[in-house]
Amino acid sequence: MTHTERWSVEVFLFQHETGTTARARLRATGSAEVIGEGTASRPTAAGRLAEVVDEIAAGRALVDLGHRLTAVAGDDARGVQSR
């Protein structure tokens, strides 16, 4: 029997003078939400580079989210094994 779940990730970009901060939030069924964060600096003359800075910050937030989710899974697995 196949079972499908849908997990949603939202990425929020906070742009400021010196760069962009991104937060990636995962909401999984039956689990606490997990949040990753990433930043990227914006050079003085940004222009088209502003979009690239956003992409870098978002990518870093998603990588951080992946690390945090893996840590949560490890904690959960240890909890199951100790029972």
Spell out the per-residue pLDDT of the chain, length 83, in tens: 898 888 999 999 999 989 999 999 999 877 789 999 999 998 776 677 778 899 999 999 999 999 999 999 888 888 777 76
Bridge-based pairing state of the strands 8-16 and 19-27? antiparallel
Cβ(14)–Cβ(22) below 8 Å: yes
* pTM for the predicted model, two decimal places: 0.84
Cβ(15)–Cβ(54) below 8 Å: yes
Tokens (6 digits) for 74:
């490890």
CA 22 to chain centre: 8
Domains of the chain: 8-81 (3.30.160.240)
Distance CA 33, CA 37 (A): 13
